Amino acid sequence: MKALRHTFLAAGFFLVLFLMQGGLAHAQYAWEQQGLRYNSWGWDDTPGTFILKRDMPTGTAGSGIPQGDYLIEDYSQSSWDKSFDYDSATDTFTIYDGQGPSENLRFLGDGQLEAEELLPENSDASGIYEADGAGIYRYGSHAIPHYITDAMTYFLENGEGVTFSSTVPGNGSWRNFSVHRNTRRTSSSNEPRYILVDANNSHEWVAFTYDDSNGVFTMYDPNSGDEPYAYRRFRSDGVLENRSAGDEHVSTTGLYTRRENGMYYGDYSNIVKYITDGMLLFLDNID
- Cα separation, 86 vs 182, in Å, equals 13
In this structure, is residue 63 part of a structural domain? no
> What secondary structure, in 3-state letters, does 74-88 show?
CCCCHHHCEEEEEEC
Residues 23 and 39 grouped into a single domain: no
Q: Which domain holds residue 232?
A: 35-55+190-285
Domain termination site, one of 181, 212, 247: 181
pLDDT given at position 14: 45
Residues 256 and 197 grouped into a single domain: yes
Phi, psi for residue 167 in degrees, rounded to 5: -105, 160
The answer to whether 224 and 205 are in contact (CB under 8 A) is: no
In this structure, is residue 248 part of a structural domain? yes
Residues 149 and 228 grouped into a single domain: no
Number of domains the chain is built from: 3
In this structure, is residue 224 part of a structural domain? yes
Which residues contact residue 211 at a Cβ distance below 8 angstroms, ignoring those fewer than 6 apart? 191, 218
Residues 159 and 76 grouped into a single domain: yes
Strands across the sheet with 264-265, in order?
Answer: 36-41, 47-54, 193-198, 201-211, 216-220, 230-234, 240-244, 254-258, 264-265, 270-271
Helix locations, the chain, DSSP H: 2-34, 146-158, 273-285
Question: 0.95 exceeded by the pTM?
Answer: no
In this structure, is residue 196 part of a structural domain? yes
In order along its 287 residues, the chain shows pLDDT tens digits of 444 444 444 444 444 444 444 454 555 556 766 789 999 999 878 899 999 998 765 444 444 567 888 989 886 665 688 899 999 999 999 999 866 799 999 999 999 999 999 988 889 999 999 999 999 999 999 999 999 999 999 999 998 888 899 998 887 889 888 898 876 554 445 678 899 988 887 778 899 999 988 899 999 887 766 678 899 999 999 999 998 886 555 678 899 999 999 999 998 889 999 999 999 999 999 86
Which residues contact residue 282 at a Cβ distance below 8 angstroms, ignoring those fewer than 6 apart? 52, 194, 210
User: Which of left, alpha, beta for 109 (phi over 0: left; psi -120 to 50: alpha)?
Assistant: left
Cα–Cα nearest to 179, from 252, 95, 123: 95
- Work out the burial of residue 197: count CB atoms within 10 Å of its CB; fewer than 13 is exposed, 13-18 middle, 19 or more buried: buried
Residues 20 and 44 grouped into a single domain: no
Q: Report the half-sphere exposure of 13 (CA within 13 A, side-chain side).
A: 6
Residues 81 and 20 grouped into a single domain: no
In this structure, is residue 62 part of a structural domain? no
- Cα separation, 42 vs 161, in Å, equals 19
| DSSP assignment of 109-176 | ETTEEEEEE-SGGGGGG-EEEEE-TTS-EEETTEE--HHHHHHHHHHHHH-SSEEEEEE-TTT--EEE
